[in-house]
Amino acid sequence: MNQGEKNIVSEKVLVVDDDAELRELLRRVLEREGFEPILAENGVEGLVKEKAEDPAIVVLDLMLPDIDGVEVCRRMRKRASKPILMLTAKDDEIDIVVGLEVGADDYVTKPFSNRELIARIRALLRRAKEYAQASDEEELLNFSGLRIDAGRHEVVVRGEPVRFTPKEFDLLLLLARNDGRMVTREMILERVWGYDASVDSRTLDVHVGRVRAKIEEDPRQPRIIVTIPSVGYKFVAPSS
C-alpha cells in the first residue's frame, strides 16, 4: 500500500462477528491497512455500535448467536445507506440472496483471504464516496412512467417515489444513461462495485432482480431492463 492510499483509508470499519479469533484477526488486518476497526460480538452490540460510532462500512456475519445477520442488516438499512459487506460460512445461494435482498451491498464466503476482504471493503467505500459526490450532479432522466434524479438520488415510478439502496440506484442510473445500448456484466461490476471481471457476479444478478421488482410492471417479464444472455443487460426506455 502506498503512502497516498494510507492517507485516504482512515474510515471506521464495524466488524460484527461472534468468532473471537476472527474478530482479532480482522482487527489486526484492518489496523495494518489504515482503517479504524470497531468490534462487536453479536447483533445487539453491532446495532448499538453502528448507531454510536457511525462507521463508514459494516462487515457483518450472517450467522450470529442472538439476532441473525439478516435481521441486523435489515435494521441497519432502515436508518443508514452506508455499505454493508456480509460474511457467510455457507456457500449457499439462498443465504447469499436473502442477505443481498435485505440491503447488503456484497458478500464474502468464509474462508476468505485478507487481500480479498480488504479489496472489497475499499471498492465499496470508493463507490460510496462517488455516490455521495454525485449529489452535486444536475442530471434528470425522464422516461414514460420513470423519472431518475441523479442529483437527489430519487426515483419516481409511475408517479410514486420508490426507495432505492445506493447500489440499486447506481445500477439503474448506469443502465438508463446507456438507454438502448447493451452494457456488459463486466462493465457493470467495474462501474457499480469497482470489481474486475473475475468477481463472482451473483451480487449483480440479485440487484438486477431488485431493480426490476421496483420499476417493471411485471418483473417476471421485464421490458425495461432486458437480459442479453451471457453478456449483460440493456435498458429499453419505457414508452406510454
Q: Which of these, 203, 6, 225, lies nearest to 88 by C-alpha position? A: 203
Question: May I ask the CATH class of domain 8-133?
Answer: alpha beta
- Poorest-pLDDT segment among 23-27, 74-78, 214-218, 221-225: 74-78
Asked, colleague to colleague, whether 8-133 and 137-235 share their fold, the answer is no
The set of cell numbers assigned to 171 is: 445500477
Q: Where are the domains of the chain?
A: 8-133, 137-235
Give me the chain's average pLDDT, please: 87
CA torsion angle for 133, 121, 212, 231 (degrees, to 10)? Answer: 110
Q: Is 43 left (phi over 0), alpha (psi -120 to 50) or beta?
A: alpha
Residue 209's pLDDT is what? Answer: 94
CATH code linked to domain 137-235: 1.10.10.10
Residue 2's pLDDT is what? Answer: 46
> Which long-range contacts (C-beta less than 8 Å, at least 24 apart) are formed by 39-46?
39/14, 39/15, 40/14, 40/15, 40/16, 41/16, 41/17, 42/16, 42/18, 42/66, 42/67, 43/16, 43/67, 43/68, 43/69, 43/71, 43/72, 45/16, 46/14, 46/16, 46/72
pTM (2 d.p.): 0.76
What is the rounded CA–CA span in Å between residue 167 and residue 212? 13
- Does residue 195 register a pLDDT over 80? no
Residue 135's pLDDT is what? Answer: 55
What is the rounded CA–CA span in Å between residue 82 and residue 105? 9
Residue 158's pLDDT is what? Answer: 93
- Does residue 197 register a pLDDT over 70? no
What is the rounded CA–CA span in Å between residue 234 and residue 236? 6
- Poorest-pLDDT segment among 152-156, 181-185, 199-203, 221-225: 199-203
CA distances from 194 to 73, 125, 161 (A): 22, 10, 28
Residue 94's pLDDT is what? Answer: 75
pLDDT digits (tens, 9 = 90+) for 73-114: 999 988 888 999 999 876 667 777 888 888 899 889 888 999
